[in-house]
Amino acid sequence: MNTKILHFFCVYLKIILSSHRTNNLNQRRPLTANTAMLFEAALGINADLLMRMQLKYNMQIVRQDKTLSQRLAEIRKVAAML
């Protein structure tokens, strides 16, 4: 794939993820399967790869959530007693 196209895609994806505000986690709009399919059709980048990248990003953000971390710690304590 052409390097310029890949660079364009990365910049465009960054703009999409950072500029569309919603009530989703971290106030960012995730890449949807529909959008991934559009990128695949337009740029030839595998939609599955794009969705895996989005999932990895989502997991990184969730792991930084201190409230969730505390909740998980409590769940692990209870589970350990079972």
- If one counts the domains in the chain, the total is 1
Cα(45)–Cα(41) distance, integer angstroms: 8
CA angle 63, 14, 11 (to 5 degrees): 145
What was the pLDDT predicted at 69? 93
Taken in order 64, 66, 70, 75, is the CA torsion positive or negative? negative
pLDDT at 74 over 80: yes
Pick from 72, 41, 74, 36: nearest CA to 55: 36
Percentage above 70 pLDDT, the chain:
73
What was the pLDDT predicted at 38? 84
20-59 residue pLDDT tens: 444 344 446 778 898 888 888 887 889 999 899 889 988 9
Domain of residue 34: give its range.
Answer: 3-81
